[in-house]
Amino acid sequence: MHNAHAQAVSIGGIRAGGDLVARMQMTRGMRLKEAKRYVADRLGVTPFDLSDPVVMTEVRNELGFGRIHSYAISQPLQANQIEAKFNIARALDVPINCVERFRERTGGA
Amino acid sequence: MSTEPRIPTRLGDGSFTEMTRSGIRADIVAGSEAAARRAKVPPLGDDEVDHLLEIYASPARFTGVDVGEEVVLSCDGTGMKTHATRIQDLQSYEQWMGADLLELCVGDYSLKVVRTILAYEAQYMHDAQLCTIAPLQYGVMPNLGLYSKPDGPCENWSALLPLGRIAEARAAAEEAVEMAVADMVKLADSQWEAGADAIDWDTTGASGDPEFLAALRATRIIRARYPDMGVQLGMAGEFVLGMHGQLEWEGVRLAGLWPRDQLLLAQQAGATVFGPVVNINTGRSLAWNMARAVALIKPCMAVAEIPVHPNVGMGVGGVPMFVYPPGDATCRAAKSLVELLHVDGL
């Protein structure tokens, strides 16, 4: 069921920019157009680009937002997981709770 | 006998049937009128009927929205030990399925069950946040019924009501509301400390107006305490059952509210995402069900100040009541809601 919904209508999560738009909706209560516009403006792309894996893979690489990884597509030198969320918080100018906790628990890293 | 070609389509229970194009159109009109009669909402216009007809009269196996019109999927239940550990499930949804957001939860999904394992769940959230990228919420269903006997400490209002012991039933439900609000806030406290991005109240109102009140009250407290924590408030049904009947939120009686008025209260309480629900009629066609769902949810969109994510799981939002919903039906439901209502997500 999830796959059908995802293929039919989803932005695509970290394959593209879906997680970034979702973050603005979830924690800022932004409606879709506003959230897409906000994220696109912060990243210097268009709202249309946010669901394009080709454009967004480049953006994610450049900004260290993390991306799909496997042993066949390894990016050991790029930010991922909690590291990526530090970069996302800075780029979107929104505090991310777990990033703030990480800072607190690692002596303000 | 009609010579009009028959098109494969499905009923609300998921089973295949065949209908003519004019039969599907008639069902769309009937579903819309059923919503208008019951909820006093406007029926769908001709352009909306035609749009739904194009979606449901197509024999295509799969369909979707236009490129660039994609929405957010608020994927509940993604960290539920479906095929590996819960963290591995979250990673699978993020890495393999492109989930826009993730949700940690336990299989039972009930608030009263989770309240006994808050520390374990907080630890799991902490660990999960270290190895995921997408926003990660914690999800439970308030399931107020578990606060009543024999599962909980309160008298059972569902047992008292048929006996005519109305005042005792109402008192029991009110007692349960107080307990649930305290538990919801404690859950949010522990999850916020662990790094959660948001809390999801799923299937809110399954126990009627007392449960909806508990979710509204808890949402307001949590959002005041943690302004950066999101709260997603998803409903259990299209209509708030009056299990108590007299409960109000800031002067608005909760029993009998339809999606638009549910949304108004959810956003007033501070929710950041609202999930309306329209239940499936298993004996009617999916076209009838979808028209009814669109007509019932449409009034939300005019007054929404927060994202609206209609529920499209098994048995709601035009998705068949079948444990493995067919992809052809699921994609039609998603496309219909996005294109006709311009929803913010699903």
CB-based burial label for B118 (10 Å; 0-12, 13-18, 19+): middle
Cα separation, B296 vs B324, whole angstroms: 25
Give residue B1's pLDDT band: very low, low, confident or very high (50, 70, 90): low
- Closest by CA position to B14, among listed B284, B338, B305: B284
Residue contact B307–A35, C-beta within 8 A: yes
Q: Give yes or no for B242 touching A (CB within 8 A).
A: no
In chain A, residues with a C-beta closer than 8 Å to the C-beta of B321 are: none
Same domain, B193 and B270: yes
Same domain, B199 and B52: no
How does pLDDT run across B283-332, given as a tens digit for each residue? 999 999 999 999 999 999 999 999 999 999 999 999 999 999 999 999 99
Q: What is the pLDDT, as a whole number, of residue B78?
A: 80
Q: Give yes or no for B321 touching A (CB within 8 A).
A: no
Mean pLDDT score across all residues of chain B: 96
Same domain, B259 and B287: no
* Residue B169 domain-assigned (yes or no): yes
Same domain, B193 and B149: yes
Same domain, B289 and B147: no
How does pLDDT run across B134-182, given as a tens digit for each residue? 999 999 999 999 999 999 999 999 999 999 999 999 999 999 999 999 9
Give residue B82's pLDDT band: very low, low, confident or very high (50, 70, 90): confident
Q: What is the pLDDT, as a whole number, of residue B43?
A: 98
User: What total of structural domains would you count in chain B?
Assistant: 2
In the A/B pair of chains, how many CB contacts fall below 8 A?
Answer: 200
Read off φ and ψ for residue B308, nearest 5 degrees. Answer: -110, 120
How does pLDDT run across B183-215, given as a tens digit for each residue? 999 999 999 999 999 999 999 999 999 999 999
Q: What is the pLDDT, as a whole number, of residue A2?
A: 84
* Residue B197 domain-assigned (yes or no): yes
pTM: 0.96
> Do the interacting molecules here have an ipTM over 0.90?
yes
Same domain, B191 and B72: yes
Identify the DSSP state of B103: E
Q: Which residue of A has its CA nearest to B337?
A: A9
Half-sphere exposure in the Cβ direction for B79 (13 Å, CA): 26
| 3-class SS of residue B99 | coil
Tell how far CA B64 is from the center of its chain. Answer: 21
How does pLDDT run across A73-107, given as a tens digit for each residue? 788 888 999 999 999 999 999 999 999 999 999 98
Residue contact B98–A88, C-beta within 8 A: no
| Domain housing B334 | 26-59+278-300+310-346
Same domain, B33 and B170: no
Q: What is the pLDDT, as a whole number, of residue B229?
A: 98
Please answer whether residues B135 and A19 qualify as being in contact, where contact means their C-beta atoms are separated by less than 8 angstroms: yes
Cα separation, B322 vs B260, whole angstroms: 27
